A and B are shown apart, each in its own frame.
With several copies, the nearest count.
Chain A
Amino acid sequence: MSNEIMSELRKDYIYNLMIKGEREDGRKFDEYRDIKIDTNVIEKAEGSARVRLGDTLLVVGVKIQTGTPFPDTPDKGVIITNLELLPLASPMFESGPPREDAVELARVVDRGIRESESIDLSKLCITAGEKVWMVFIDVHVLDDGGNIMDAASLGAIAALMTGKLPAKRFDVGEDSPIPMRDVPVAVTAVEIGGTIMLDPSLNEQSIAGTKLTVISNQDGGISGMQKSGVNPLTTEQINYIVDAAIEKAKELRQKFLEI
């Protein structure tokens, strides 16, 4: 009960701010919280990044090993993305098998990388049909301050861009960078009382009901989208978010993901 009252109060508070054109942390509606990305923070991983996005904190580790390709793509490497909402990150996350939220987040991060063709999978082939590079991207969420999606996506790309193929250790040549050819960036928006806000905080996200994530590429094209949550959106809202997200992605890419 007391939780429900708290939730009502928070909703009123944020809603009233919004009417005045404000957000609880003083940001503009299209403004992101502070972002800090540190790479190569885990020396034992082939690539890694620690991302702070406001109060959200997560670590992405990339492990790379050799393995056998899929029968239907004998000349392509394999990407596997996993995301854990660790119980230390929030009182809401319990131990046990991954919740549907974690599965959804992992799959959207994965599709963002895969569908944007940001990694050149054919360059992950070592011997066609026999041996390819398997890239495991593991996202460990340590502190949930809202908008894990964008933080995870930033972290995954940052870790990949600064990672390497450990060819020497596997005795298949010299180490080399992971063959990247695009830099997809996820931008997530919520709608509250008719107003669109980017990078929702935990409170904003909890009252918004629905998020829309748009992943766009260097050329401004869209490589992934995901609506998550029970509230419907209108076409106008969606189109507005798409345009805002593509714009914001350019800014984030330039600021944080230039090689």
Chain B
Amino acid sequence: MICVYEIIKNEEEKRKFMVKPEKLIENGIRLDGRKPDELRPIKIKVGVLNRADGSCYFEFGANKVIAAVYGPREVHPRHMQKSTSAVVRYKYNMASFSVEERKRPGPDRRSIEVSKVSREALEPVIFQEYFPRSAIDIFVEVLQADAGTRTAGINAASIALADAGIPMKSLVSACAVGKVDDTLVLDLNKDEDNYGQADMPIAMTPDGKITLLQMDGHLSSDEFKEGLEMAKKGCLEIAQLQRAALLEKYSSKIEGESNE
């Protein structure tokens, strides 16, 4: 008899301390008071770090993430250089204290996958060919996790790239749609993620191109299509907040520079 608990528990945040609520939606209202198509509150601060070339602090409900961008800069190790474009790297990392049960520091399989799909969500909007042989490094640090950290990270990273002055075709916005109590809902919170029937994070450019799409759970083909439209609307809302935050920083430099 062997125990793989050690391996597994670092993979996914555990639900040890939670109890399943009886209903997740009552009279069309979710447990945290939102309507099905409503996003959680969002708080954005641009340029919160001094050393990084660009940075952004992003709160998405109880999620707290910070993104930093360095680059274009030299590539180490050299053999990772591309001769005709920049290499984009994305490192998603959860702080040990960001979840209920302490996470062991360092990358696990989940964070490797999240880093990969997040990088692919942003690459299409970056003019990589402008910077051959260089690297654009994106670091996303999750300080508190509450379902939706990968979408929060992409939203933050997109702003941090702009803050770093990296030439981009557009911003990228991300949010999830899910199914709970047989109803499609936008932007799952932790309980809805744990006890819901489906979770589908997407990322999108303002003109509707999908750059990230993942899905887990159970959806009919029609539900999927309806959900995709709901998520796209959510992304457009977020895009407006992202633009507003960037504008605010650049219109009133004094205000936005240092205090978080």
In the complex, besides A68-B1, A142-B66, A222-B219, 18 extra interface pairs with C-beta distance below 8 angstroms are: A66-B1, A71-B16, A80-B8, A82-B96, A86-B141, A87-B137, A88-B49, A88-B52, A88-B55, A91-B73, A100-B113, A103-B109, A115-B217, A143-B49, A144-B51, A222-B221, A224-B216, A226-B215
Per-residue CB proximity of B85-101 to A under 8 Å, as 1/0? 00000010101111111
Q: Is the CB of A57 within 8 A of B49?
A: yes
With A42-B144, A87-B139 as contacts: A233 and B209 at CB distance below 8 Å: yes
- Contact partner of A230 (CB less than 8 A), chosen from B68, B110, B124, B139, is B124
Nearest Cβ in chain A — how far from B116, in angstroms?
5
Minimum C-beta distance from A55 to chain B (A): 5
A84-119 with Cβ < 8 A to chain B: 84, 86-91, 94-95, 100, 103-104, 106-107, 111, 115-116
Cβ–Cβ < 8 Å partners of B73 in chain A: 91
Judge if B208 is at the interface, Cβ distance under 8 Å: yes
Pick from A88, A138, A212: contact of B139, CB below 8 A: A88
Name the contact of B219 in the complex, choosing from A90, A221, A239 (C-beta under 8 A): A221
- In the assembled complex, the Cα of A87 lies from the Cα of B141 at a distance in Å of 10
Q: Known contacts A65-B102, A227-B214, A232-B211: does B3 contact A222 (CB below 8 Å)?
A: no
Known contacts A44-B100, A222-B218, A224-B215; A103/B210 CB under 8 A:
no
A18 lies within 8 A of chain B by Cβ:
no
B24 at interface by CB-CB < 8 Å: no
Cβ–Cβ < 8 Å partners of B215 in chain A: 222, 224-226
Is the Cβ of A45 less than 8 Å from the Cβ of B50? no
B221 & A233 in contact (Cβ 8 Å cutoff):
no
| Interchain nearest-CB distance for B129 vs A (Å) | 13
Q: Which residue of B lies closest to A38 (CB)?
A: B260
Chain B positions within 8 Å of A232 at CB level: 124, 205, 209-211
CB distance from A35 to the nearest CB of B (A): 14
Task: List 28 A–B pairs whose Cβ atoms lie within 8 Å, in order of A's numbering.
Answer: A42-B144, A55-B51, A59-B95, A61-B97, A68-B1, A72-B15, A72-B16, A82-B105, A86-B93, A88-B49, A91-B51, A103-B112, A104-B112, A115-B218, A116-B218, A131-B1, A138-B105, A142-B49, A222-B220, A225-B215, A226-B117, A227-B213, A230-B120, A231-B124, A232-B211, A235-B228, A238-B210, A243-B221
B158 contacts chain A at the CB level, 8 A cutoff: no
A53 is an interface residue with CB less than 8 A from chain B: no
**Assembled-state Cα–Cα distance A198/B170 (Å):** 30
The answer to the question of B232 belonging to the interface, with a C-beta cut-off of 8 Å to chain A, is yes
Q: Mark B107-144, 1 if CB is under 8 A from A, else 0.
A: 00110110111001001100000000000010101011
Query: Given known contacts A55-B50, A232-B124, A235-B210, is B96 in contact with A70 (CB within 8 Å)?
Result: no
In the complex, chain B residues whose CB is within 8 Å of the CB of A140: 95, 141, 143
- Contact call B2/A134, Cβ cutoff below 8 A: yes
Chain A residues in 8 Å Cβ range of B224: 222, 225, 242
Please name all residues of chain B whose beta carbon is closer than 8 Å to the beta carbon of A169 when the two chains form the complex. 17
A210-227 interface (Cβ within 8 A of B): 212, 217, 220-227
| Chain B residues numbered 33-67 whose CB sits less than 8 Å from any CB in chain A | 48-52, 55, 62, 64, 66-67
CB atoms of A228 and B105 under 8 A apart? no
Task: Kindly report which residue of chain B lies nearest to residue A143, judged by CB atoms.
Answer: B49
Cross-interface CB contact of A44 among B48, B68, B98, B105, cutoff 8 Å: B98
Q: Say which residue of B4, B17, B117, B205 sits within 8 Å of A67 (CB atoms).
A: B4
Give the shortest distance, in Å, between B249 (CB) and chain A (any CB). 17
CB-based contact A63/B217 at 8 Å: no
Q: 4 shortest A-B CB distances, which residue pairs?
A: A61-B97, A88-B68, A232-B209, A225-B215
- Please state if A235 and B145 are interface contacts (CB–CB under 8 Å): no
Asked if B9 is at the interface (CB within 8 A of a chain A CB), the reply is yes
